Amino acid sequence: MTQAPATNPVVVELKDVHKRFGANHVLKGVSFAIPKGQVVAIIGKSGSGKSTALRCIDRLEIIDSGTIEVCGHAVHDPAIDLRRLRQDVGIVFQSYNLFPHLTVEQNITLAPRAVKGLSGADALAIAERTLRQVGLADKAQAYPEQLSGGQQQRVAIARSLAMEPQVMLFDEVTSALDPQLTGEVLRVIEQLAQGGMTMVLVTHEMEFAARVADTIIYMHEGKVWETGPGQMLREPQTPELRDFLSHGL
């Protein structure tokens, strides 16, 4: 990528990735690489394949051809150890997907205890730390439905962070939120970016993408159409991106 310091190893790499849903050819040869510590924003119209590309990185979708390497895991390999991959990759969804029967604290401690075998006390310490990180230390005992959408999404981020992933994926995490709640979630993501977390965001927040992302990938019709730094959004090279930006902003 354009901005990548040469010293940083690549942690996510897609090469000529194709994905079809039946007759619908969603990804038509997508390739990009993300060095450690970089923040990449993927933008594009709905149906451009941006969410699918993100989901392929965590093997929530299985690709038809091409290769994906994430933190040393060959994601395209059918024999992949999914649980190892998922310990290295955190993902946050548009619809939060918190576990409604558990408190905020239990939502966060569940995986560190079950997967990493941490003691209750160690897991609680992690919950406390990650909740403080997202500014919700006082909500540990609340149930998800007692929280606003923005708070739920921040808990979802804390839940992912508790597994101490190498890469964080964000799939349109503010699309279900009103502008005020969007702001509080974006602030958390921005802090993570400053902390050096490697992140891939699929987003509709252009201003935010321009400010926070090291690299922006514009996807159009299943292809990486244009790639560049945040500046790219002010000087689009292709008519498609220009058109997209004029409708989007």
Partner 1 sequence: MVDGGLNLHHLQFLAVGALWTVCLSLIAFVGGGIAGGAIALCRISPLKPLRWLTIAWIQIIQGTPLLVVLFVCYFGLSIMGLELPGLVAASIAMIIYVSAYLGEIWRGCIEAVPRTQWEAAECLALSRWQRMRLVVLPQALRIATPPTVGFMVQIVKNTSLASIVGFVELVRAGQLINNSTFQPFLVYLIIAAVYFAMCYPLSVWSRRLEQRLHFGQRAAAP
Does position 97 interact with partner 1 (CB under 8 A)? The reply is: yes
Stretch of 12-20, 121-129, 138-146, 187-195 lying at the interface with partner 1 (CB under 8 A): 138-146
Q: Which is nearer to partner 1, 48 or 103 (CB)?
A: 103
What are the Cα distances from residue 83, in Å, to 38, 63, 87, 144, 166? 24, 18, 6, 26, 14
Residue 30 forms beta bridges with which residues?
Answer: 17
Tokens of 76: 């395209």
Q: Which is nearer to partner 1, 89 or 209 (CB)?
A: 89
Does position 105 interact with partner 1 (CB under 8 A)? The reply is: no
Beta-sheet strands, E only, within the chain: 10-21, 24-35, 39-43, 65-70, 73-74, 89-92, 167-171, 198-202, 215-220, 223-228
Does position 146 interact with partner 1 (CB under 8 A)? The reply is: yes
Angle CA 155–157–163, to nearest 5: 105
Site track 27-66 with partner 1 (rule: CB under 8 A), x = hit: -------------------------------x-x------
Does position 175 interact with partner 1 (CB under 8 A)? The reply is: no
What are the Cα distances from residue 119, in Å, to 46, 82, 111, 140, 143? 43, 23, 12, 18, 22
Q: Which one of residues 87, 109, 198, 203 is an interface residue with partner 1 (CB under 8 A)?
A: 87
Does position 166 interact with partner 1 (CB under 8 A)? The reply is: no
Beta-carbon count within 10 A of 121 CB: 7
Stretch of 38-46, 65-73, 78-86, 178-186 lying at the interface with partner 1 (CB under 8 A): 78-86
**Closest separation between CB of residue 249 and partner 1, Å?**
30
Q: Which one of residues 35, 44, 49, 90 is an interface residue with partner 1 (CB under 8 A)?
A: 90
Which spans of this chain sit near partner 1 (rule: CB under 8 A)?
58, 60, 82-84, 86-87, 89-91, 93, 95, 97-101, 110-111, 114-115, 143, 145-146, 159-160, 163
